[in-house]
Amino acid sequence: MKRNILLGVSGGIAVYKAVALVSKLTQAGFNVKVIMTESAMKFVTPLSFQVMSKNDVYIDTFDEKDPSTIAHIELADWADLIIVAPATANIIGKLANGIADDMLTTTLLAATCPVWIAPAMNVHMYDHPAVKRNIARLYEDGYGFIEPSEGYLACGYVGKGRLEEPEKITELVIHFFESEGKQ
C-alpha cells in the first residue's frame, strides 16, 4: 500500500532541498502532497513541487480546490505522516503556540498522524532560548524532530542549523513505515 506524505514547506533558503526531498520520496514510492507558506514561495515556485509530486500544491487556506471538502482538514486526514521541512523558527513558534494563520498551520493543528519537524535556520537562531523553548514544547506535545546537521550555513556561519539531507530524511521515512508494519 502506498503511503501518503504531506510535506509542509516554510520559507528559508533550504527550500531548495525540499524540492529534492519531494523527488526522493516520490521515487521511493510515496504519494506526496505539498503545502507551502507564502515565504517559501519567495525561494521556489509551487510549480517545482507540482512537477516533482505530480499533485496540486496548497498555499491558501481559502482556495478550496474541491468544494465538497475543506482542504486543510482533507489533507490532515489524507496524510500518514507530515514532515515540515524546512521548519523555520517562525513556523516552529507558531505551532508551539497553537497559532493557525495560514494553510500549513491550520493543517498541522488538524493532524492526527505523526508530524516530524526538520528545523533549518542560522546557528544562533537555533540556539535562541525562545526557539529551544518552542522545540521543547513541541516535543512534549508529541512531535518528532529530524535534527539539523552541522556545516556551512547560507549566512556564511558554520554550525548546527542545516536542513538534513533529502536522502537521509527519505531513509528515515522508509524505516519508519517498515518498522510500523512490524508492530
Catalytic residue among 13, 100, 155, 172: 155
Cross-strand partners of 162: 149
Q: What is the DSSP letter of 60?
A: -
Catalytic site includes residue 155 = yes
Contacts (Cβ under 8 Å, ≥6 apart) of 100: 94, 106, 108, 109
55 alpha-carbon distance from chain centroid:
16
- Angstrom distance (rounded) from CA 94 to CA 168: 26
Question: What cell was used for 32?
Answer: 506526496
Q: Tell me which residues are annotated as active site.
A: 155
